[in-house]
Structure 1
Amino acid sequence: MDASTTLSHDERDARAIRRRGWTLALLTIAYFFSFMDRQILAILLEAIKADLQLSDTQLGLLSGLVFALFYATLGLPIARLADRSSRSNIIAISLAFWSAMTALCGLAQNFTHLMFARIGVGIGEAGFGPPSQSIIADLYPPEKRASAMAIYSLGVLLGGGLGIVIGGFVAHSYGWRVAMMVVGLPGIALAVIMKLFVVEPRRGLSDGKAPAAPADAPAMGLWKGIMSLWHNRAAFHLVAAITITSLVGYAVTGWGPSYMQRSLGMSMLDVSKYVALPAAFVAGFSAMLGGWLCDRAARNKGVYAQSYVVVVMKVLAFPFALGFYFLDNLWLAISSYFVASIFAGAYIGPTYAMIQHLAPLRLRATWAALTLLATSLLGLGLGPFVVGQISDALKPTYGDESLRWAMFSVAMLTPWGIFHYWRAGVLMKRQEAAAAA
């Protein structure tokens, strides 16, 4: 028996708070591996296309829908398990599985082989996000949660960028298959470290709640959990906002390297050296800035103000995001992309924090899984796939420039996402005013 099980509630709570920094760091590193394994395909698409003779539609399926279907749908049952049992165990097992499947992608000999390996990556990663967000929400109070989630979201921003850097350099020297194995195999060792050191906090620990019921206590059923989010209109608008924003974002991350190669004349190695690495750190700065501004707004105004901060950041980013597609000069286009990135990455941590703030304690992993279901099926699943289809449809007219117009078409959904963030802020403000009355 683990000695920690003999500790009192107060001793376990103190231990969890004492080690929360390490727990957050390990979850962020695992998220880094998650997104690196997921997004490395972006820099390898052109090499895979040439090797396996694939179409843009097939590449879009591999980048998005094939992965997202399993990642999203399995996230819900795993999240229900996480709301009842050990979240840290689920995270460690999931990490080991998706890492092994990423390495197996390097052995694929055709589209079908690669598709099944990507399905395996999606199955493994389904068990990571919801329990991780639930643990962070229990370790950090509402006024510090946006910053904690912003640190956690660095895994997305740095993982995607550095995955392109590592993948590009390794693929340039040794081929795309070796690149898949190089990013996949280290995650298995990390899974062992996660199992040994990640804290399993009491549910509601940082919300000032009484000790939670035992892990086997009855929890709300899945359907009621879904309806509880649906009836919380502020949460519904937050999920809609992050879904639309993710659709646009996954379209850029999935096809951006190909666009830079086809329309801007860059090589795979140039994208890795001059764009991916600085873009990762710019996006990381954006996430930290967004978390800091949102926590400051929450302390001064209320949690609702975090949504308005995201609105402002997204509005500032939008014209520069469009400039990426309209500026023909290489370095002006890349500069516009970097400026957009300064503001664009600010939404991730605050959005997750607000959803966890609104979620009932025993439904935090479930609400996180519902959010990931929407962002994965509609964002990750449709974003790269729709861009691929539009690009193929426009190719007879625009030739190699078809990808530019396909990506621009999807980017024009951004104002719709901004509206939902604004509406969520309005509704959260009303809820907070009613609770204070």
Structure 2
Amino acid sequence: MSATPIESGGPPAAKPSAGGRAWVALGVLWFIYVLNFLDRQLLSILAKPIQDALHITDGQLGLLGGLYFAFFYCFIAIPVGWLADRTNRVAVVSIACGVWSAATIACGLSRNFGQLAVSRMTVGFGEAGGVPPSYAIITDYFPPGRRGMALGIYNLGPPVGAALGIAFGASVAAAFSWRDAFIAIGAVGLVVALATPFLVKEPRRGGLDASPARAASAAPARAGFWATVKMFFSTPALVLAALGSGVTQIVTYGLGNFAVLFLMREKGMTLNDVALWYALVVAIGMGGGIFASGWLIDRYTRRSKTAYALLPAMSLALALPFYIAFVWAPSWPLALALMLAPNFLNYFYLSSSVALVQEEVRPNQRVMAGALLLLVMNFIGMGVGPTYVGAASDFFRATHPDNSLQIALYTLIPVYLAAIGLFLWLARVLGRNTPKAETVR
């Protein structure tokens, strides 16, 4: 890797204060995140034709989208985060994009479950290097008070990627083959990986932080690996943000990995229906929710840090009754209409937790702290959610062959309640740690 340390002796870093350059960087990193999530979601979008071609069960699908993927995605993120905190973060993102895009092409060439499993694990290996460095790059391009919105825009990558994946993947699969969808999207990612170093320049670490003295003293020092790990897991607010996000992701990944299969197999949708209507629901619902959450975070965290926790808690409480109605709905048009609300409200946690972690740690710990956040929340959510729902569906198949996925999705209701409880606990911790003067404007 031709990575250059950002400390003295390396080439001059890009000025993070350049407004136009900051938005170009955000746009490129956002598009990479779109590809990241698009590649990741193709498996769930094309679950039905993949099942028909490779003869795999719901439980095996859950492992491919859950535990197998999460193991590599989560744990490789730690050494990648350590490396990116010490070297050129843009180079790390570019190389990671190339790896996961090549692995996506390999998914399309797989001929059995074993080959597909290895390809999916390699996708996870590559995607581990995409998000944590991007969080830190964006934080160093945008000043405090604008980071919530910037990270909110960046976190629109998943809904846009999911929506494009649904529309493109389902359309290609319906017209040609599910294999062609993997190969085409992987090829686009390889081109973007090559172009990224020419479009995004490495910003100075901590250059826009509120305290110039703090940034100046922190920038030359390299954060120790174990010191950062100890700091993260000894800080209650960071741990609770990661746990609350992880439990929330049991719902979002558990539902997300099986929603298309559920709607097609148990509600009667076709691939053409999925390509249009489900794509719109994801784009409008999830995209609107993530964008709105970024704006709300910037607005209300100026008054009190407790907003980082109260906003996700309130949004999940509002989402729960609509989620129950969605799973119950007797037809796919009604189910999709009801699904808009959970898709909008389920993702407030994401920008909130990311912004909180990035604000609470030193500039030279941001990539590593972001990687630790992803490790906890994704290993819980991505590792448990799809794996559990797939296994539960297989379990209920013997007694409820026509609606085993519906029953499996009903069992996620207590998970909502656990996530709400964790975010309320986080709000209490943040309230204790916030000086009284900060809570009143």
Q: Same-fold call, TM > 0.5? A: yes
Helix, strand or coil at the partner of 2:258: helix
Q: Distance in 2 between matches of 1:185 and 1:168?
A: 18
Q: Which amino acid aligns with 1:133?
A: Y
Q: Is the 2:16–2:140 contact (alpha carbons within 8 Å) kept by the matching residues of 1?
A: no
Q: Which amino acid aligns with 2:431?
A: K
Q: Is the 2:304–2:438 contact (alpha carbons within 8 Å) kept by the matching residues of 1?
A: no
Question: How far did residue 364 of structure 1 move?
Answer: 1.0
Match of 2:151 in 1: 149
Q: How do 1:7-406 residues align onto structure 2 when only pairs under 5 Å count?
A: 12-15=15-18, 17-208=19-210, 209-210=212-213, 211-212=215-216, 217-220=221-224, 222-299=225-302, 301-406=303-408
Q: Which amino acid aligns with 2:299?
A: R
Deviates more, 1:44-53 or 1:84-93: 44-53
Alpha carbons of 1:140 and 1:426: their partners in 2 closer, same or farther (altered >3 Å)?
farther
Cα deviation, 1:381-417, whole Å, max 9, x if unaligned, reads 2211111111111111111201111112124301111
Q: Distance in 1 between matches of 2:15 and 2:242?
A: 33
Q: Distance in 1 between matches of 2:33 and 2:96?
A: 12
Question: How far did residue 426 of structure 1 move?
Answer: 2.0
Q: Which amino acid aligns with 2:260?
A: P
Question: How far did residue 92 of structure 1 move?
Answer: 0.5
Q: Which amino acid aligns with 2:57?
A: S
Q: Which amino acid aligns with 1:344?
A: N
Alpha carbons of 1:116 and 1:239: their partners in 2 closer, same or farther (altered >3 Å)?
same
Q: Distance in 2 between matches of 1:148 and 1:14?
A: 14
Q: Distance in 2 between matches of 1:12 and 1:329?
A: 54
Question: How far did residue 43 of structure 1 move?
Answer: 1.6
Question: How far did residue 376 of structure 1 move?
Answer: 2.3
Cα deviation, 1:210-231, whole Å, max 9, x if unaligned, reads 45469874422x2322221122
Q: Which amino acid aligns with 1:219?
A: A
Q: Distance in 2 between matches of 1:73 and 1:7?
A: 31
Sequence identity percentage: 32
Q: How many residues align?
A: 432
Q: Which amino acid aligns with 1:296?
A: R
Alpha carbons of 1:369 and 1:258: their partners in 2 closer, same or farther (altered >3 Å)?
same
Bigger helix fraction = 1
Alpha carbons of 1:411 and 1:141: their partners in 2 closer, same or farther (altered >3 Å)?
farther
Q: Distance in 1 between matches of 2:356 and 2:52?
A: 43
Gaps in structure 2 of 5+ consecutive residues: none
Deviates more, 1:404-413 or 1:394-403: 404-413
Question: How far did residue 141 of structure 1 move?
Answer: 2.6
Gaps in structure 1 of 5+ consecutive residues: none
Q: Is the 1:84–1:216 contact (alpha carbons within 8 Å) kept by the matching residues of 2?
A: no
Q: Is the 1:79–1:130 contact (alpha carbons within 8 Å) kept by the matching residues of 2?
A: yes
Q: Distance in 2 between matches of 1:13 and 1:124?
A: 27
Helix, strand or coil at the partner of 1:97: helix
Q: Distance in 2 between matches of 1:216 and 1:298?
A: 30
Q: Distance in 2 between matches of 1:164 and 1:419?
A: 33
Cα deviation, 1:69-98, whole Å, max 9, x if unaligned, reads 111111000100111111000000110111
Q: Is the 2:85–2:222 contact (alpha carbons within 8 Å) kept by the matching residues of 1?
A: no
Q: Is the 1:85–1:216 contact (alpha carbons within 8 Å) kept by the matching residues of 2?
A: no
Helix, strand or coil at the partner of 1:62: helix
Helix, strand or coil at the partner of 2:342: helix
Question: How far did residue 331 of structure 1 move?
Answer: 2.4
Match of 1:432 in 2: 434
Q: Is the 2:132–2:367 contact (alpha carbons within 8 Å) kept by the matching residues of 1?
A: yes
Root-mean-square deviation (Å) = 2.3
Question: How far did residue 334 of structure 1 move?
Answer: 1.6
Q: Distance in 1 between matches of 2:375 and 2:351?
A: 17
Q: After TM superposition, which residue ranges in structure 1, 4 or more long, deviate above 6 angstroms? A: 4-9, 213-216, 434-437
Q: Which amino acid aligns with 2:240?
A: H
Q: Which amino acid aligns with 1:185?
A: A
TM-score norm. by structure 2 comes to 0.93
Alpha carbons of 1:215 and 1:121: their partners in 2 closer, same or farther (altered >3 Å)?
farther
Cα deviation, 1:275-296, whole Å, max 9, x if unaligned, reads 1233222211111111111111
Q: Distance in 1 between matches of 2:63 and 2:416?
A: 22
Alpha carbons of 1:143 and 1:13: their partners in 2 closer, same or farther (altered >3 Å)?
closer
Q: Is the 1:202–1:212 contact (alpha carbons within 8 Å) kept by the matching residues of 2?
A: no
Q: Is the 1:68–1:122 contact (alpha carbons within 8 Å) kept by the matching residues of 2?
A: yes
